[in-house]
Structure 1
Amino acid sequence: MKKAALFLFFAAIISLPSSVKAQRYGTALGLRVGNSDLNRTMGLTLEQRIQKRISAELILQSDFSRNTTFSALAKFHRPIISKRFNYYLGAGPAFGNEESFQKIPETRQIVLTYGNSTFGLDMIAGLELTVANAVISLDYKPNINIAGREEFFRGQVGISARTVLVKSKEQKKRAKQRQKARKANSSEKSSFWEKLKIGPAY
């Protein structure tokens, strides 16, 4: 699956016509499929652009059996070829309900437990391609366990497909409108006190 995901991702990039233009997204929602040595998961991914090169991503994924996790990641983006193709690095807290494997050297046994409430740190590194209203990404997401699980480290390869809900231009426009409204409101208050020729009571 890892090799197939890599092949499909880079094939999509190579096959893109040069005339296709991408829209910078403000908010994007979609599906993420993950694969590791332990299991395969499917879930939701929501990404929100915070600044020009910084975004926040929420990932809820499950194997619909013994493992369900939630991650909140802050990501830094940097373009590679153009604005539509970039790499990103990020990290953030992760919570879950997972299975755990404990090795017992004396008896050469592995004890499996499930239903463990876990807490840890997720890191992420990946490539992202934005075409029209679609955002496709391929990532590697390692997890460092802090509490609730025996294994200290787990790694996962994931591929995500999101649709753009709010474009970057629209997000900037709304932010400017809110800022303009706050200034107008502040100006109205100042004008009110000036007309009364008194200062506000403290």
Structure 2
Amino acid sequence: MSYTISKVETDFPKLNSFLKKVIESPKQHFLWLNTLSLLEHIGSRKILLTQSNQNTSEMILRHATEEARHALFFKKAANSYREDQEATYKNNELLRGSSAKIYFAKLDASVRKELKKSNIAPEHHSFLSYLYTTTLIELRALDVYESYNQILRNTLASFQLDNLILEEEGHLDEMQKEIMSLDSEYMTRLERLIQKENTLFSKLLNQFILAVV
């Protein structure tokens, strides 16, 4: 990994305990995989909704496509636990689906609020919001996916996340380069946003844990 941005804080013992418990139950594992699919789908949809204009770049199209492919990957993995019908994104087929959606929405709102307080020209806010939100999500995803992937390996699961993790790392490299070119205060701004994300994810993880107790 060549990016130099800070990492999020992760309570790995708590995260790993949750992941091991999820994998022990086919039903809970199905819900978890489908929730990961939902989060990737939200990311892809948001990119297309907010960044589809005359300035849409190859990077944006590639990123939206890869997020959609990740959503499909997790959806297929979830469906491998179903025999009767394909999974939807209804709440009863998600692990704390409402909490997951709230996490994403509040994180995005925090980024937009931070940018409004800055001296950055308003015409750059939408693109920077995409860059910062994506960076925060993918920093978090790397911690979660790498821990999850190790457990999948240890249990000899039928699928692993190696290629997906490599793509997320590539996204972070691209995000950093773009942010640095637009925001001279990106390091201190990102640190503030990481602290907000840490709080939001801690609450989300607690909700996930309550769902599998």
Fold-level match, TM-score > 0.5? no
Q: Which has the higher contact order (CA 8 A, sep 6+)?
A: 2
User: TM-score normalized by structure 2?
Assistant: 0.29
Name whichever structure is richer in helix by fraction: 2
Q: Higher Cα Rg: structure 1 or 2?
A: 1
Name whichever structure is richer in strand by fraction: 1
